[in-house]
Chain A
Amino acid sequence: MTLASTITIDRIEVLENGVVQVRQAQVITDSGNEIARNFSRWVLTPGEDVSTQDAKVKAICEAVWTSDVISAYQAQVASQAKV
């Protein structure tokens, strides 16, 4: 029995307003056979600091987050009524 754990970013979802949803998967294997898979998620919003993110996530954010996208997202947030 050889247990191993691998952590990867297995899903990167870009929403219409430029928000990026990231899913990280931790896969536990026993002698190469997957015995468990656990997910962890977070959301990145346009203009957010992504310097500590996975390289693929960072590259996608930088490609999607043009100044227009960031401005539109900030305007959207500002327009939301909070009562």
Chain B
Amino acid sequence: MSNAQYLASLVNSSGNINIPVSNAGINFNNSSAIGASTLTDYETGTWTPVIGPQSGTLTAYTSNGAYVKIGKLVYLIGSFTITTSGTASGSAQMSGLPFQSSSSPSVQGEGIVRESVNTGVVYQITNFGNSSTAQVASLTNGAIVWTATYSYAFTLTYQATF
């Protein structure tokens, strides 16, 4: 089979190119490190942010999220809206991220948050290495506002384990 015939055999009836070997990908021949220059994954989908307060109890909220994963890089967008605040206070603890973050290199994933209904105030979101959780806090690591109708939209980028 010629190279052209082999490449043609990878294209399915929908016109998509399928990589037939698990964990194989597209190797960009621009580096001596094959593992570091092989694109092995691309995926898009949805996830549901689970929100809890640093202190107290949050009575009700709504949330939604979407993700794009390109290789190890995970890009998240999402939002959560306070419906009934209860006794919630402090920063927001977010779980339910779609992928565990990598601990190597040991870096934090960071992103930006904006209260998009009432104030337009900007906050930060941090994903700590080796976890599927994140923290939403003020820019000085303080509390967010837990008031009904407050809605926080965010983006977060981090590195997954594979």
Stretch in contact with the other chain, from B26-34, B125-133, B150-158: B125-133
**Interface residue stretch chosen among A1-9, A38-46, A50-58, A59-67:** A38-46
**Which chain B positions have C-beta within 8 A of A77?**
131
Task: Select from chain B the residue with minimum beta-carbon distance to A83.
Answer: B141
Across the interface, do A21 and B99 meet the contact criterion of CB distance under 8 Å? Answer: yes
Number of residues on chain B facing chain A (CB within 8 A): 20
CB distance from B142 to the nearest CB of A (A): 14
Q: Are B45 and A80 in contact (CB under 8 A)?
A: no
Q: Which residues of A contact B45 (CB under 8 A)?
A: 23, 38-41
Q: Distance in Å from the Cβ of A65 to the closest Cβ of chain B?
A: 15
Residue from B46, B96, B129 in contact with A80 in the complex, judged by beta carbons closer than 8 Å: B129
Size class of A's contact patch?
Answer: 10 to 19
Q: Which residue of B lies closest to A73 (CB)?
A: B130
Q: How far is the CB of B80 from chain A (nearest CB, A)?
A: 16
Indicate whether B100 reaches chain A with its CB closer than 8 angstroms. yes
Chain A positions within 8 Å of B97 at CB level: 43
In the complex, are the beta carbons of B100 and A82 less than 8 A apart? no
A82: chain B residues within 8 A (beta carbon): 128, 135
User: A43 contacts B99, CB within 8 Å?
Assistant: yes
The answer to whether A40 touches B47, judged by C-beta atoms less than 8 angstroms apart, is yes
Residues from chain B with a CB closer than 8 A to the CB of A83 are: 141
- Minimum distance in angstroms from B47 CB to a CB of chain A: 5
Q: Can you spell out 17 A-B residue pairs with CB atoms less than 8 angstroms apart? A: A17-B130, A19-B100, A21-B98, A21-B100, A38-B46, A39-B43, A39-B44, A39-B45, A39-B46, A40-B46, A42-B47, A43-B97, A45-B132, A76-B130, A80-B129, A80-B131, A83-B141
13 further A-B pairs in the complex, CB-CB below 8 A; given A19-B132, A80-B130: A16-B161, A17-B130, A40-B45, A41-B67, A41-B99, A43-B97, A43-B100, A76-B130, A80-B128, A80-B129, A80-B131, A82-B128, A83-B141
